[in-house]
Every structure is written in C-alpha cells, then in structure tokens.
C-alpha cells in the first residue's frame, strides 16, 4: 500500500506506475544483458517472488471483473429510462454506439493484422513464457474451430445456465444476459425493481472501489511483471512496445480525425472543423484526466452552450455514453489483445478474432469510465483466447498515455453521437 501513501503525499498514481515500469524494465534488462535469463537465481526469483506478485495482482482483477461487467452493463442499459417515451432517441443512440464502436474495433484489428507489432520476438522464449503462465488455457486455442460457424456462434451466445457461463469465463453469454436483464429493468417499473436497480448501482460502486484499491498496488505489480518479461526478452521488448504504441495511436488518430469528421459531416450536417473547435474543452479535460466520468459535466455543458443541442437529448446520450459508448476503449482492447497474441505466438483464427471484436464492442459498454478501467476486460479477453493474462504487464507502463488518448476518443465520440441523435429532434419540446 506504499503507493496509496505516496498518493496522499501528492505523487500521482500514474507517475508511480511509470516508476515501477522503469524500475522493473531497467532491472530486467540489466539481468538479461549481464547475467542471462538461464541463471539459477534469476529462475528462482522470477518463479517465487516477482512472478507470484504479478499473478496475485492479475488474480485480483479476475476476481472483480465479472460482477463489475454485469453491474456496469445492467446499469448502463437501465439508465436509458422508459423505452416507450424515449422512442427513437434511445434506439438511435444504441445503434450509433454499436456502429461507431464496431468501426473503431475494425480499424484497430486491421492495423494490428497489417503491421504485426507483436511479431519478431524469439519464439523459443515466447513459448517458454506461454507454457509457464498459460498451460491451462492452451486448450481454448487448440479446440477452436478452423472456420467460422455463425449459426453455432449465435447459439452459443444464449446461456443455458448463466452461472455455468460465468464459472466457465464465457463472457459473451454473460454480457448478453446482462443486456437482457437491463432491458427488463427498463420495461418493468415498480418499487421492487427500483430497489433492485439501486442495489445493482451499489454493486457497481463497491466493485469500482475495490478496483481502485487493486489498481493502487499496480506500481509494485508492474515492476514485478516488467522484471520478468524484460529478463526473458531483453531489448526485443522495447522494440515491440514501441511498435504497439505506434499502432494503437495511429488507429485512434484515424478514428478521431477521419471517422468522426465524416460522421459529423454526413449524418449531423455540421462542419467538422467547427465541431472540433466547439468541443476543445472536454477534449483537453478528457486527455488530462483520462476519465470519461470526470469529463461528463464539462461535456454536458459544452453540448448545451457550444453545440446548442437539446438538453433532453444531450443529457441522456452523454450520461449513457459515459458508460456505454467507450469506442476508444473498445479499439484499444482489440489492439492490445491481438498484439499480445502475436507477442506470445498465439495464432488467433478468424473465428477468435471475430469473437474478440464482439467482446470488445460489448466490453466498451461495461468498461468503467475511470483511468485503467479497461484492464480487467483485457485480462478476461486474453484468458478467453489462450493468451497469458500476465502478459498485460507489458503494456501497463505505457497504459497511462494510451488511456489519455482513448479517453479523449471516448468523450469526443459521445459528443459526436449526441450531435447526430439531436439532428431531427430540434423541433421537439425541450426541457428547461
């Protein structure tokens, strides 16, 4: 809990995470270059000290991810309110959220498949690390079908037993159940369901608090994870990490400065340059705080004063979007999963990449709008496709910068969706 004490003294957590990253990376590289990964004491240290510490950190994330996702998705859907009164506004918001997130994920997966940022690592070392951390998950990859079977995929989406699906880490069926559960809360209004919705909101708050406590020890976990990886991979790690950051930033920039302007121009009939000038304040706040939730008040104010959107539209879309329209996060999750799969030499089939895409889109709904909120989802997806989730330690050191970038993409995406949905609704009565 040293990081929490340091936080109270005024040291931001992201600086502590960066320090842990640098310390672990430097120590690991020194060991790799001077002693060698095969030294007996290095093997003992990574197997008995640094390795377990990193695995405990990841285990804590796994412990929280399922209730966190369930509560976030149910709450996000339930916040749509009365579907009958919201009418086309709610469905337009949902459709735009899915389409924009899908475009974001496709861009990310396309660039990763084209540039292959995770390739080039020595296969023997990668295979050794894969066997050490993920032997139990290898069957997921080996038993995956060679071809896409959409009918079976759709059948598998519907959980016969939601508790069995959760126990088996079948995230898609669990997410589908959460969506249906949220719709049920919208359709059934009674004192009992109101209390149930409050209970689920309370569950989300508890999971978020626990997640913040776990993230508070991330600097130590990052140092241990980076030491293990750098001691095994040496300078190859630095090259691959730089390639990962480059591809992730390029995908986000393409989505921000090509896809968003086209959507604003074609569907909202607005000048993209004027739009970006009007949203500059939430743009900067999102980038500096890396939190969609923290930026929400600024976004609402900007929508009403700068974009001149109807209040009843902007407040609904932006409030739901702070949780449900995380297309930047969805893009980042897809890029990270494929990068780590390439890094560890796990060849994902077309079927598995489609599964990653759908989970990332739905995961964007269930990702907390706070710094590092996507880490539990990424860890879960990695386990689903047979990639060692401990490998997430590779990207934790640069995650703060990428978090700032993807949060900015999320916040601007919320304003884009609100602007599109508001078109055609201007003649409706506006709430005061």
Ranges of residues in the chain with a pLDDT under 50 are: 1-8, 85, 132-150, 369-371, 427-432
> What b/e readout covers 274-304, taking b as 16+ CB neighbours within 10 angstroms?
ebbebbeebbebbbebbbbebbbebbbebbe
Using the 8-state DSSP alphabet, how is residue 153 labeled? Answer: H
Q: What is the pLDDT of residue 147?
A: 41
252: in domain: yes
pLDDT for the residue 36: 75
Number of H helices, E strands in the chain: 23, 0
What's the confidence (pLDDT) of residue 171? Answer: 66
Residue with tokens 């993920």: 134
DSSP 146: S
Rounded CA separation 285/295 (Å): 6
Domain residues for the domain of 141 are: 11-422
Going by C-alpha positions, the residue among 235, 175, 243, 191 that lies closest to residue 381 is 175
Token representation of residue 364: 């964007």
- Nearest by Cα to 383 from 363, 365, 356: 356
Structurally, the chain folds into a number of domains equal to 1
Three-class DSSP category at 233: helix
Is 208 part of a structural domain of the chain?
Answer: yes
Instruction: Give the other-Cβ count within 10 Å of 153's Cβ.
Output: 15
For the chain, the C-alpha Rg in angstroms (whole number) is 22
Q: CA 340 to CA 342: how far, in whole Å?
A: 5
Domain CATH number, residue 256: 1.10.3860
Report which of 321, 286, 324 is spatially closest to residue 419, judged by C-alpha positions: 321
Give the helix ranges, DSSP H, for 46-87: 51-78, 83-86
Q: Is residue 375 part of a domain?
A: yes
Q: Give CA–CA dist 432/76, Å, rounded.
A: 24
> Is residue 191 a part of any domain in this protein?
yes
CA angle 398, 263, 95 (to 5 degrees): 85
Any domain includes 427:
no
- Of 321, 322, 350, nearest to 338 by C-alpha is 350
Domain presence at residue 138: yes
Dihedral of CA atoms 112, 116, 117, 120 in degrees, nearest 10, equals 160
- Identify whether 3 is part of a domain: no
CB atoms within 10 A of CB 32: 20
Q: Which pLDDT does position 5 carry in this prediction?
A: 45
Please state, in angstroms and rounded to a whole number, the distance separating the CA atoms of residues 245 and 123: 22
Would you give the distance in Å from CA 60 to the centre of its chain? 17
DSSP assignment letter at 279: T
pTM: 0.66
Exposed, middle or buried, 214 (CB in 10 Å: 0-12/13-18/19+)? buried
**Dihedral (C-alpha) 353, 204, 401, 222: value to the nearest 10 degrees?**
-90
- Decide: residue 130, CB within 10 A, 0-12 exposed, 13-18 middle, 19+ buried: buried
Residue 432 inside a domain? The answer is no
Contacts of 3 (CB under 8 A, 6+ apart): 13, 16, 216, 217, 218, 219, 220
> What's residue 121's pLDDT?
64
Q: Rounded to whole angstroms, how far apart are CA atoms 54 and 35?
A: 22
């Amino acid at each position: 809990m040293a990081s929490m004490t340091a936080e109270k003294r005024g040291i931001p957590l992201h600086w502590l995470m960066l320090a842990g990253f640098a310390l672990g990376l430097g120590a690991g590289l020194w060991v790799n270059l001077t002693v060698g990964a095969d030294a007996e004491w290095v093997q003992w240290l990574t197997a008995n000290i640094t390795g377990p510490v990193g695995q405990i950190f990841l285990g804590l994330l796994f412990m929280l991810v399922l209730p966190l996702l369930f509560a976030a998705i149910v709450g996000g859907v339930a916040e749509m309110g009365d579907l009958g009164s919201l009418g086309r506004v709610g469905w337009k918001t949902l459709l735009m959220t899915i389409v924009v997130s899908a475009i974001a994920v496709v861009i990310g997966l396309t660039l990763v498949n084209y540039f292959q940022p995770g390739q080039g690592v020595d296969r023997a070392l990668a295979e050794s690390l894969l066997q050490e951390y993920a032997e139990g998950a290898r069957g997921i990859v080996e038993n995956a079908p060679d071809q896409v079977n959409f009918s079976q995929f759709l059948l598998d989406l519907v959980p016969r037993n939601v508790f069995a699906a959760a126990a088996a880490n079948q995230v898609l069926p669990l997410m589908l159940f959460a969506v249906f559960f949220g719709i049920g809360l919208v359709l059934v209004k009674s004192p009992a369901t109101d209390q149930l919705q409050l209970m689920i909101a309370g569950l989300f708050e508890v999971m978020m608090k626990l997640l913040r406590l776990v993230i508070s020890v991330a600097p130590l976990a990052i140092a241990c994870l980076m030491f293990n990886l750098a001691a095994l991979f040496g300078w190859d790690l630095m090259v691959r990490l730089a390639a990962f950051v480059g591809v992730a930033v390029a995908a986000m920039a393409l989505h921000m400065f090509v896809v968003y302007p086209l959507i604003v121009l074609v569907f909202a009939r607005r000048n993209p340059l004027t739009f970006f000038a009007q949203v500059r304040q939430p743009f900067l706040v999102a980038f500096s705080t890396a939190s969609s939730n923290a930026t929400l008040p600024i976004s609402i104010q900007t929508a009403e004063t700068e974009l001149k959107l109807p209040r009843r539209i902007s407040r609904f879309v932006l409030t739901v979007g702070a949780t449900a329209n995380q297309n930047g996060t969805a893009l980042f999750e897809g890029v990270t999963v494929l990068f780590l799969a390439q890094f560890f030499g796990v060849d994902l089939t077309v079927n598995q990449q489609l599964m990653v895409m759908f989970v990332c889109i739905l995961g964007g709904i269930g990702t907390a709008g706070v710094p590092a909120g996507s880490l539990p989802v990424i860890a879960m997806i990695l386990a689903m496709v047979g990639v060692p989730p401990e490998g997430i330690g590779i990207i934790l050191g640069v995650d703060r910068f990428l978090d700032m970038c993807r949060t900015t993409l999320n916040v601007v995406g919320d304003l884009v969706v609100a602007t599109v949905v508001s078109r055609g609704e201007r003649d409706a009565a506006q709430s005061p």
